[in-house]
């Protein structure tokens, strides 16, 4: 799978402590277009033509002594569900830590791996609904 050449970063997910303040910042102050709201704790903003910024409220946001803010993960889009499986096979061969998947989800297939420093990276394919 050495020929993996992403055309860009599909999304970056960041963890925030107060979703309403983050939505005000990214939506109203920066003027990003919110294209999806997922429950009360996740929002997706369109960046450019195809990329997105995802904000998700930390599970510990209720506790002021346990603030959690960070980049959660970076997501790369793949062209097919089969390519997700090919990436998983390649990562196993390279002894890369697989955190989750490959597995199906509502509209596609995904795989989460860890880089050497523990940063989470997602490889996924999403089909039409």
The secondary structure of 39-58 as a DSSP string is TTTEEEEEETTTEEEEEEE-
Q: How far is CA 7 from CA 61, 82, 121, in A?
A: 34, 18, 16
The structural domains of the chain, ordered by start, are: 8-71 (3.10.180.10), 78-129 (3.10.180.10)
CB 15 within 8 A of CB 48: no
Q: What is the pLDDT of residues 14-72, one digit of tens each?
A: 988 889 999 998 999 888 999 999 999 999 999 888 889 999 988 765 566 666 667 88
Q: What is the pLDDT of residues 3-16, one digit of tens each?
A: 777 777 889 999 88
Read off the tokens for 8: 């860009």
């Amino acid at each position: 799978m050495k020929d993996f050449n992403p055309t860009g970063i599909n999304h970056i997910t960041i963890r925030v402590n107060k979703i309403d303040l983050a939505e005000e910042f990214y939506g109203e102050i920066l003027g990003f277009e919110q294209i999806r709201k997922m429950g009360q704790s996740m929002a997706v903003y369109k960046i450019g033509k195809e990329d997105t910024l995802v904000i998700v409220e930390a599970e510990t946001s209720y506790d002021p002594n346990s603030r959690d803010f960070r980049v959660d993960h970076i997501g790369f889009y793949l062209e097919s569900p089969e390519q997700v499986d090919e990436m998983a096979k390649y990562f196993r061969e390279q002894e890369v830590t697989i955190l989750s998947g490959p597995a199906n989800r509502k509209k596609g297939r995904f795989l989460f791996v860890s880089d050497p420093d523990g940063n989470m990276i997602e490889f996924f394919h999403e089909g039409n609904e």
